[in-house]
Amino acid sequence: MLLSRNEADVDLVEGFLAGDADALRAAWDAWGGMIHRFAARSLPTTADAEDVTQQVFVDAWRGRERFDPELGALPAWLFGIARRKVVDRLRALQRAPLPAGDPDDIRTADLEIERTADRMLVADALARLPLDRRQIVELAFFDDLTHTQIAARLDLPLGTVKSHLRRGLATLRRSIVTERTS
């Protein structure tokens, strides 16, 4: 969440793409807990959650050349893999609603998984926003302040607040939408 984050992330992503196992380890440290929790919430047993978490990182590493930083952030990509693994596992366990059939129900279940993933990814990305931007976005999210109210509260020009909101939201959005395009 530090301002140095961008540089550090670039290093991480470059290392990851270059096959530097330390970068995989760094990604594990940063997002392994989140992925694991996501799997644990979505799957019935600890063993399932651990298997899926393991598969996510193993697959991500083996398929790292498919990760395109232009399309989205690394955690979003990892979550895309995790979501597919979770859904596959649920289907294999016959836990998915009506595995044989009703597409609406399946879509609802998938949507719920997607929402959980979105929340975790946005929370993670929010924590990593530059400090000033994050504060402004949090005021808009959690205190429901308008940009005018935020500007007044922080004694900042309106344009500054708008710009932080726009760029902050763009970053958060980038944290969740990659799996759509990949």
Partner 1 sequence: MSHLDPDTLTLLALGEESEGMDGHLASCGTCSAELDELRRTVDAGRTIDRSERAPAPPDHLWDRIAAELALEPAAAHGRNGNGPTAAGHSPTPPPAAAPPAHTAPPAPPAHAAPPAHAAHAGVAAQAVPPAQAGPPSQAGPPVQDTHTATPPAQAGVPAQPAGPTAPADGRPPSGPRSRARASKRRRAGLVMSALAGVVALAVVAALGLSSARPRVVAQTALAPLDGSSLAGSAQLVERAGALELRVDLDVAADTDRYYELWLLDTSGDLLVSLGPITGDGVHALPAGLAVADYPVVDVSSERFDGDPAHSGDSLSRGTLPV
Q: Which of residues 42-81 bind partner 1 (CB under 8 A)?
A: 50, 53-54, 57-58, 61-62
Cα 125 from Cα 76, distance rounded (Å): 10
Cα 123 from Cα 14, distance rounded (Å): 24
Contacts (Cβ under 8 Å, ≥6 apart) of 180? none
Smallest gap from residue 86 Cβ to partner 1 (A): 16
Smallest gap from residue 87 Cβ to partner 1 (A): 19
Smallest gap from residue 180 Cβ to partner 1 (A): 8
- Assess 95 for contact with partner 1 (CB under 8 A): no
Number of residues that bind partner 1 (CB under 8 A): 78
Pick 43 or 124: Cβ nearer partner 1 = 124
Nearest CA-CA partner of 53 in 73, 30, 78: 78
Pick 101 or 155: Cβ nearer partner 1 = 155
Pick 71 or 169: Cβ nearer partner 1 = 169
Footprint (CB under 8 A) of partner 1, residues 14-43: 14-16, 20-37
- Assess 99 for contact with partner 1 (CB under 8 A): no
Contacts (Cβ under 8 Å, ≥6 apart) of 157? 151
Binding mask 108-147 for partner 1 (x = CB under 8 A): -------x--xxxxxxx-xxx-xxx-xx-xxxxxxx--xx
Smallest gap from residue 112 Cβ to partner 1 (A): 12
**Rounded to whole angstroms, what are the CA distances from 129 to 69, 93, 135?**
18, 38, 9
Smallest gap from residue 80 Cβ to partner 1 (A): 15
Nearest CA-CA partner of 34 in 126, 107, 106: 126
**Rounded to whole angstroms, what are the CA distances from 70 to 6, 66, 173?**
14, 11, 13
